[in-house]
């Protein structure tokens, strides 16, 4: 019997060794209660390793007790947590903090407090016939008696008996909630000893394995065969590059069905669940109750129930979820599909672990011996390169399914329109004409503007004063509803000043425009059109979100104005026109991925147009109509975008040619921060030479009252990233031990997005 257990606690610290008390049999991956820290608090830990090696500290605490019978993590999952901790430079405890639903990690000062917080599954009443009635003769005898004297009891008894199978007497259990019979009647039957009642955890009804699969087109079939062959030949990851509307989802469905039919588990990762409600519905139409959704809109209780249920499952599970579903305990995981693999929301920015779920999916396939499929119309340059170099398999779908054709794209020059007097509010005449025609035909319009709010900021026309956040170095965004100025970094909100606080001469006026302003203007220009807006401000809840989407899908609204939110995954048959209000602020981001992102986003928005029948139209408004990225969007030329961008990345040494690690240092006092960052930069330069860039001011260099400064480490893709992390880790450790620097927070972000 192993006498010691290394236990991972939800902290930014390494695992601690505890003694295993006599009589307690632990298994790796199991959750346990331990007492920890100077105050001996009760907290939850995961048994990481069992061994015989006595640690060399004098007082070794003991494990208190086991929390759930089943281990919460399988062996490959433990390896995944370890990989994440090592690759993203955090502790396994921080991975635990993020991976387990909060209700599964009780803690408390006392045993009582701890137990109070412990998760208790909701119990449910089940009813079954008394065993004696399983005998046909006995059953009929009772029935006859009741039929005359107590018809309601008779009906209830029949209902229970036929609950399992119509033709025979069922002695199985039926959930109380599924019965028509009321509780008084059931009570009486129970008192008479004719039925039994038990309490246990609600079980989920699982669907069968006959799925109605779509018939694939020859092209789709070819892509599917290619992927199958590559997987069969031992490739663990493949890329499915297919234009919007080509039927990538249909191919996923076929691969998913195969795995489920063999009893394996499948995970389908999607960028943002609220945005993919349609995808879940579509999956449910095919896979029925097999589908388990997992996302941030679920209650804590629901997430915990799902986690525990999966940890006990025998396989055949199908989870559709956001990035954190990579942590669900699917023990028979054979396939992970990452839809829209290029999407930046797969990367967790804050807090640690700053992981990318897409990359974790690729690693997970290796750990489980399963397969990972990355799907996108516009793959990230990293994945595209991995496929090009033969590291990943690849299949391509380059035509839309059925009659649907790709939309026609018009580039509309904003400056030229303004010169000719053909610009009204924020619309060029071309876009307004197209909107008018589309509405005339009874079809729908989507308008994309990547800024929410009414306008980006307010300005004094006299002295140029702008409203800025007192805590962050950014301008405040003007929201017309309520006439508020809001900081999109810290949430700080204030009233719009009546007079300019600086010169006190004039009113301040809104400058630039956001979704709210577009909504107002378009409603004014087309008073008969029904206009709705979809962005973070209008979507206050899942219900609000669904209402907006349902109205648009049912054509109760004609024009939908929105941010990024409208770009993903939607399939609205009535949309034949998409307008991109201002392509320039997408292209002018100070980020090496700006061009790639702008291309992906514009392609994705454009892809919403003309998904049925005879194509659609897209109008891109820009002040820079000859910009190569705009031209590449207009011709849908992904390969051209890749070629120009890869050349630039190579020249300036960015991913996929280099791996980036960004370091952000934070402190309230700018002087302490400055000397700290100089010190760290110097240390790193001694190790990494010219691979270190900075110190540099990040786009926003003050947030919530703290100053920020950055360093960037660029390591050649061919070099050992493990070695680089090791060296970096050692430098960061001695930096944090330096008394002058200890108070500085250092955030390490590996592969920043």
Residues that bind Zn ion (CB under 5 A): 460, 462-463, 465, 469, 471-472, 487, 489-490, 492, 500, 502-503
Contact flag: residue 18 with ligand ADP (CB under 6 A): no
Residues 86, 80 contacting (CB under 8 angstroms): no
Number of Cβ within a 10 Å radius of residue 688 = 16
CB of 224 to ligand ADP, least distance (A): 10
Helix axes 136-149, 151-161, angle to 10 degrees: 150
398 binds ligand ADP (CB under 6 A): no
Selection from Zn ion, ligand ADP, none that 502 binds (CB < 5 to 8 A by kind) is Zn ion
Q: Which of 517, 657, 677 is nearest to 592 (CA)?
A: 657
The least distance separating ligand ADP from the CB of residue 341, rounded to whole angstroms, comes to 12
The nearer residue to ligand ADP, 213 or 696, going by C-beta atoms, is: 213
Q: Is 242 in the site for ligand ADP (CB under 6 A)?
A: yes
Task: Quote the CA–CA distance of 26 and 78 in Å, as a whole number.
Answer: 16
Residues 6+ apart with CB under 8 A from 130: 193, 194, 195, 196
The SS3 call for residue 708 is strand
Q: Confirm if 316 and 260 have CB atoms less than 8 A apart.
A: yes
Distance, in Å, from the CA atom of 656 to the CA atom of 614, rounded to the nearest integer, reads 38
Q: Is the peptide bond before 566 cis (omega within 30 degrees of 0)?
A: no
Angle at 38 between CA 33 and CA 44, to 5 degrees: 15
Among the listed residues 94, 250, 305, 751, the single contact to ligand ADP using CB under 6 A: 250
CB of 217 to ligand ADP, least distance (A): 5
DSSP state string for 363-424: HHHHHHT-EEEEEESS--HHHHHHHHTTSSEEEEE-S-STT--PPEEEEEEHHHHHHTT-EE
Contact status: 245 vs ligand ADP (CB under 6 A): yes
Kindly state whether residue 217 participates in binding ligand ADP, applying the rule CB under 6 A.
yes
Token match 């009780």: residue? 106
Residue 469: contacted member of Zn ion, ligand ADP, none (CB under 5 to 8 Å, by partner type): Zn ion
- Do the Cβ atoms of 630 and 421 come closer than 8 Å? no
Complex with ligand ADP: residue 102 or 221, whichever CB lies closer: 221
Distance of closest approach, residue 606 Cβ to ligand ADP, in angstroms: 12
- When binding is defined by CB under 6 A, the residue of 401, 454, 513, 654 that contacts ligand ADP is 401
At residue 18, the 3 state secondary structure works out as strand
Q: Is the CB of 155 or the CB of 571 nearer to ligand ADP?
A: 571
Which of Zn ion, ligand ADP, none has residue 472 at its interface (CB below 5 to 8 Å by kind)?
Answer: Zn ion
Place of tokens 């388990």: 292
Residue 671 CB, nearest distance to Zn ion (Å)?
22
Q: Which of 97, 105, 248, 667 binds ligand ADP (CB under 6 A)?
A: 248
Nearer to ligand ADP, 245 or 379 (CB): 245
Alpha-carbon torsion 220, 221, 225, 226, what sign? Answer: negative
Residue 608 CB, shortest distance to ligand ADP, in Å, is 10
What binding mask, one character per residue, do residues 552-591 give for ligand ADP by CB under 6 A, x or -? -------------------x--------------------
Helix (H, G, I), strand (E, B) or coil at 95: helix
- Closest separation between CB of residue 321 and ligand ADP, Å? 18
Strand intervals (E) in 463-601: 477-479, 484-486, 493-495, 508-511, 531-534, 559-562, 575-580
Of the candidates 336, 346, 323, the residue with the CA atom closest to the CA atom of residue 368: 336
| Residue 462 binds which entry of ligand ADP, Zn ion, none, CB below 5-8 Å type-dependent | Zn ion
Among 134, 214, 574, 625, binds ligand ADP (CB under 6 A): 214
Beta bridge partners of 531: 559
The only residue of 76, 93, 247, 264 in contact with ligand ADP, by rule CB under 6 A: 247
Find the part of the chain contacting ligand ADP (CB under 6 A) among 211-219, 386-394, 618-626, 735-743.
211-219
- Binding-site ranges for ligand ADP (CB under 6 A): 214-217, 220, 242, 244-250, 401, 571
């Amino acid at each position: 019997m192993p006498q010691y257990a290394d236990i991972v606690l939800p902290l930014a610290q390494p695992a601690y060794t505890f003694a295993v008390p006599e009589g307690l049999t632990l298994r790796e991956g199991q959750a346990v209660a331990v007492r920890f820290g100077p105050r001996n608090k009760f907290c939850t830990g995961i048994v990481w390793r069992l061994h015989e090696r006595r640690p060399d500290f004098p007082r070794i605490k003991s494990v208190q007790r086991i929390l759930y019978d089943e281990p919460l993590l399988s062996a490959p999952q433990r390896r995944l947590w370890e990989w994440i901790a090592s690759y993203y430079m955090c502790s396994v405890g921080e991975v635990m903090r993020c991976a387990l639903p909060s209700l599964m990690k009780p803690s408390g000062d006392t045993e009582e407090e701890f137990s109070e917080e412990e998760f208790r599954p909701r119990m449910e009443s089940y009813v079954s016939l008394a065993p004696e009635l399983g005998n046909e003769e006995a059953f009929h005898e009772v029935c006859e008696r009741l039929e005359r004297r107590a018809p309601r009891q008779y009906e209830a008894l029949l209902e229970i008996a036929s609950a399992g199978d119509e033709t025979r007497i069922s002695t199985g259990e039926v959930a109380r909630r599924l019965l028509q019979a009321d509780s008084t009647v059931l009570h009486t039957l129970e008192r008479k000893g004719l039925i039994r009642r038990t309490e246990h955890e609600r079980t989920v009804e699982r669907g069968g394995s006959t799925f109605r699969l779509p018939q694939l087109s020859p092209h789709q079939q070819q892509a599917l065969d290619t992927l199958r062959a590559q997987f069969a030949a031992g490739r663990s990851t493949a890329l499915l590059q297919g234009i919007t509307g080509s039927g990538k989802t249909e191919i996923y469905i076929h691969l998913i069905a195969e795995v489920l039919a063999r009893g394996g588990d499948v995970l389908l990762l999607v960028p943002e669940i609220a945005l993919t409600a349609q995808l879940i519905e579509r999956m449910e139409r095919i896979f029925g109750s097999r589908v388990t959704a997992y996302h941030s809109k679920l209650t804590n209780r629901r997430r915990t129930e799902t986690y525990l249920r999966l940890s006990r499952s025998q396989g055949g599970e199908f989870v559709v979820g956001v990035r954190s579903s990579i942590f669900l305990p699917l023990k028979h995981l054979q396939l992970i599909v990452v839809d829209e693999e290029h999407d930046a929301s797969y990367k967790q920015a804050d807090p640690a672990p700053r992981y990318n779920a897409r990359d974790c999916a690729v690693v997970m396939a290796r750990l489980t011996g399963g397969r990972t499929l990355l799907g996108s119309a516009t793959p990230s340059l990293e994945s595209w390169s991995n496929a090009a170099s033969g590291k990943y398999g690849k299949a391509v779908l380059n035509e839309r399914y059925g009659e649907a054709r790709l939309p026609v794209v018009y580039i509309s020059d904003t400056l030229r329109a303004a010169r000719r007097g053909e610009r009204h509010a924020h619309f060029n005449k071309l876009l307004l004409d197209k909107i008018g025609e589309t509405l005339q035909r009874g079809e729908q319009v989507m308008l994309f503007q990547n800024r929410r709010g009414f306008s980006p900021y307010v300005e004094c026309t006299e002295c140029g004063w702008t409203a800025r956040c007192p805590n962050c170095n950014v301008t405040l965004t003007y929201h017309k509803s309520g006439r508020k100025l809001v900081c999109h970094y810290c949430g700080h909100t204030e009233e719009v000043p009546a007079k300019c606080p600086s010169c006190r001469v004039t009113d301040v006026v809104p400058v630039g425009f956001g979704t709210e302003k577009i909504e107002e203007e378009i409603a004014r220009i087309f008073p008969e059109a029904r206009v709705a807006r979809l962005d973070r401000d209008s979507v206050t809840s899942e219900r609000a979100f669904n209402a907006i989407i349902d109205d648009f899908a049912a054509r109760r609204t004609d024009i939908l104005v929105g941010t990024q939110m409208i770009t993903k995954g939607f399939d609205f048959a009535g949309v034949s026109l998409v307008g991109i209000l201002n392509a320039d602020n997408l292209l002018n981001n100070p980020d090496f991925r700006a061009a790639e992102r702008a291309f992906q986003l514009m392609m994705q928005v454009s892809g919403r147009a003309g998904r049925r029948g005879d194509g659609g139209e897209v109008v891109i408004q820009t002040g820079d109509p000859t910009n190569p990225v705009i031209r590449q969007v207009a011709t849908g030329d992904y390969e051209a975008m890749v070629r120009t961008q890869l050349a630039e990345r190579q020249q300036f040494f960015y991913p996929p040619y280099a791996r980036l690690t960004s370091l952000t240092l934070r402190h309230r006092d700018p002087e302490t921060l400055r000397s700290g960052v100089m010190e760290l930069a110097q240390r790193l330069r001694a190790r990494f030479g010219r691979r270190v860039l900075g110190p540099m001011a990040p786009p926003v260099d003050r947030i919530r009252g703290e100053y920020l400064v950055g360093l960037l480490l660029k390591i050649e893709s061919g070099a050992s990233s493990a070695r680089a992390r090791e060296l970096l880790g050692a430098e960061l450790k001695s930096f944090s031990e330096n008394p002058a620097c200890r108070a500085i927070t250092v955030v390490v972000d590996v592969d920043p997005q």
